[in-house]
Amino acid sequence: MLDRRLLVRISSTTALLLAALSPAHAQNVNQAYYDMCLQAADFPAPFGESDLKGNAKLPDYCKCFAPAFAARAEKAAKYMQANPGKAPPKTLEQTNAEELAMRNTCRKQTGLPAAVDPNGAATGQQPAGAKRK
């Protein structure tokens, strides 16, 4: 099962890699996020976009997702470059809520159902079978 910390590490690593890229690589970065979005449909539920696996609208959703998340990662990478060793200003919970809101904006634009926070933190909803800690 995917560990939430692993997903955070992947996001952080991606942000650091983006910091090394020039603006000329923006298309490649968008493509990388697009591909990551498509792969997220294969993540085990309730993580990623598992509820969209096989959905014909997934590619359109990922076209919205990719530039939004690439821009966010670039902003985070610039912050880390400008503030080495300094923690980001947002908490993990705030970051997760922001990501969920971005995902749901794209889902709404493409006529897909809203994503549910796997921890129930941002929306108060929990996936089926989840238990409160």
What pLDDT digit, counting tens, does each position of 82-130 carry? Answer: 999 888 888 888 988 999 999 999 999 999 999 988 776 444 344 444 4
What pLDDT digit, counting tens, does each position of 63-77 carry? Answer: 999 999 999 988 888
What average pLDDT does the segment 36-49 reach? 91
Residue 94 lies in a domain: yes
- Measured CA to CA in angstroms, residue 103 lies from 50, 54, 85, 99, 129 at distances of 13, 18, 29, 6, 22
Residue 117 lies in a domain: no
Residue 39 lies in a domain: yes
Residue 36 lies in a domain: yes
Amino acid 89: pLDDT? 85
Looking at the chain, which runs of residues are DSSP E strands? none
Would the pLDDT of 39 be above 60?
yes
Domain count for the chain, please give it: 1
Name every residue whose Cβ is closer than 8 Å to that of residue 133 and which is 6 or more positions away in sequence: none
Would the pLDDT of 41 be above 80?
yes
Amino acid 76: pLDDT? 87
Residue 128 lies in a domain: no
CA distance 52 to 59: 10
Amino acid 36: pLDDT? 94
Amino acid 8: pLDDT? 46
Residue 52 lies in a domain: yes
**Residue 63: other Cβ atoms inside 10 A:** 15
> What is the span of the domain harbouring residue 26?
9-109
In the chain, the N- to C-terminal Cα span, in Å, equals 18
Written as six digits, the tokens of 98 are 């922001």
Which among 23, 30, 11 has a CA at the least distance from the CA of 90?
A: 11
Higher pLDDT, 27 or 51: 51
Q: Report the C-alpha dihedral over residues 17, 5, 126, 32, rounded to 10 degrees.
A: 20
Q: Name the pLDDT band for 46 (thresholds 50, 70, 90).
A: confident
Would the pLDDT of 131 be above 70?
no
Q: Are 119 and 85 in contact (CB under 8 A)?
A: no
Residue 3 lies in a domain: no
